[in-house]
Chain A
């Protein structure tokens, strides 16, 4: 377990800011306690300070997880966000997509969102912007990358992809053993 190096923090924040912009400050500077990011076996964990101190007593092979896992660093140094970070991304998300009830199921199975399944989208979403996907009843379902800007979304045909799937809460069942 170790804190992130500068380069790692930079990569990590760049990825996060794609989804929540500058609200990362609210994650770092919390009024209700000190929380920190720690790296353990290539995964980044967001954990409160006193839990982290206790976790420091567990040896490296025996420690499986602590706090919330935000994602992991791949072998080539890129950061990949996992679905377990959704609880922290959803409240601070800048750009959101609401999905029609019919298309919820297909998104939860890991497919991309088509124009026909698009309910609402925040104004002025640029292309390839990180978005958080909600159902029509405002339940966060996962996140993705906008395939088209809001403008283009209005004009395209109903069968084109408007949002690339990145992670969804169906992964808690599908990829149960890889999440920590």
Chain B
């Protein structure tokens, strides 16, 4: 019953259908477009991008109205916009294909992240390291292999099958000055043990210095040849190291009591016995007085000089006075005059000795007088 429709109407129908198809397509693209928003984002302040960390920092102020209105939707739209910008930047980077996937190499990060753990403390320098720094001594790297003369081969410097291994010696020469009954092998082993112990002590001491715990004084550690002070210190400590801190240890017959041993100085109390203090001070003054010579030589010399001057001036006066008259009288001996006077003055300390000096000084005085 298919009637032949008029061709016009068929064409019209087709046209209408095509038109509707176009409409449909348009509407589809439109809906698609509305589903995917544009890749262009408009922002007032450019957000900072850190592509290394995939970070976008958006500093645009938020729209308060929209925020109060529909918070979630607004924030979501903001987030979406920022992510879009990030991806725009990522797509701008050079891409490469790795196993059917498009990859992009992210650049270095620009944000500085804070440390996870605290900054490590500087290691404390050992005693040797401090000294080496002070003197400017550089470390010299030693090689592992050393030429062994006996084996005529390269052997390790230390460890298994080392060169010059002392423990492998099956004969040791006894040195000329050593006791013939001494066991040289035993001696070697003991020396080695002592070296190891010394090294261990020094290592522990370095650590103790680092952790600020008490370091035993050097005087206490055993040394080959202790000096006088070290022996004294060791003796003092040995005396004190009893249960009652040395109160009842007896003194050796000729032992002098050590005055000032130990780090802390001890002073008298500020408000002590005043009488005792006075006595001590007066004693000190007495000792000082005794040490000073009773007759001061320079003073005696000066006295002689003044007398010589006085006599010389009185001579001048007499000469001027007795110009007309002839001066009579025994020639005066200046030296003897001085000597006589000095004899009286120097009753304590050997007049003869002073006299001798006085004569000499008198001569000097004479010379000075003449020179003047």
- List residues of A whose CB falls within 8 A of some B CB: 1-3, 5-6, 9-10, 13-14, 17, 22, 24-25, 28-29, 34, 36-38, 49, 52-53, 56, 124, 126-127, 149-151
Contact = CB atoms under 8 A, between A and B. Distances in A.
In the A-B complex, list the 7 residue pairs whose CB atoms are closest, starting with the nearest: A2-B267, A3-B268, A1-B270, A34-B274, A28-B281, A151-B302, A56-B270
A52 B302 CA distance: 45
13 contacts: A2-B268, A3-B267, A6-B280, A9-B281, A17-B285, A25-B282, A28-B282, A34-B278, A49-B274, A56-B271, A126-B296, A150-B302, A151-B306
Contacts of B302: 124, 126, 149-151
Contacts of B269: 2
Mostly helix, strand, loop or mixed at chain B's interface? helix
Contact of B284 (A13, A52, A124): A13
Contacts of A49: 274
Contacts of A1: 270
B85 interface: no
Nearest to B292: A17
B271 A29 contact: no
B238 to A, nearest CB: 28
A9 B281 CA distance: 7
B149 interface: no
Nearest to A56: B270
Nearest to A123: B306
A6 B267 CA distance: 10
A126 B288 contact: no
Interface residues of B, number: 24
A2 B271 CA distance: 8
B289 interface: yes
Nearest to A40: B270
Contacts of A17: 285, 288
Contacts of B272: 3
B303 interface: yes
B35 interface: no
Given A9-B281, A10-B288, A22-B285, A126 B270 contact: no
Nearest to B278: A28
Among B269, B278, B298, B309: residue with most chain A CB under 10 A: B278
Given A9-B280, A17-B285, A52-B270, 12 more contacts: A1-B270, A3-B277, A5-B268, A13-B285, A13-B288, A29-B278, A38-B270, A53-B271, A126-B298, A149-B298, A150-B302, A151-B302
Nearest to A29: B278
Given A36-B277, A126-B299, A6 B284 contact: yes
B51 interface: no
B305 interface: yes
Interface string B308-339: 01000000000000000000000000000000
Nearest to A49: B274
Interface in B254-309: 267-272, 274, 277-278, 280-282, 284-285, 288-289, 296, 298-299, 302-303, 305-306, 309
A178 B219 CA distance: 43
B302 to A, nearest CB: 5
A24 B285 contact: yes
Nearest to A10: B284
Nearest to A30: B278
B305 A151 contact: yes
A121 B16 CA distance: 145
A1 B272 CA distance: 12
Nearest to A34: B274
B64 to A, nearest CB: 61
Given A13-B284, A22-B289, A151-B305, A2 B270 contact: yes
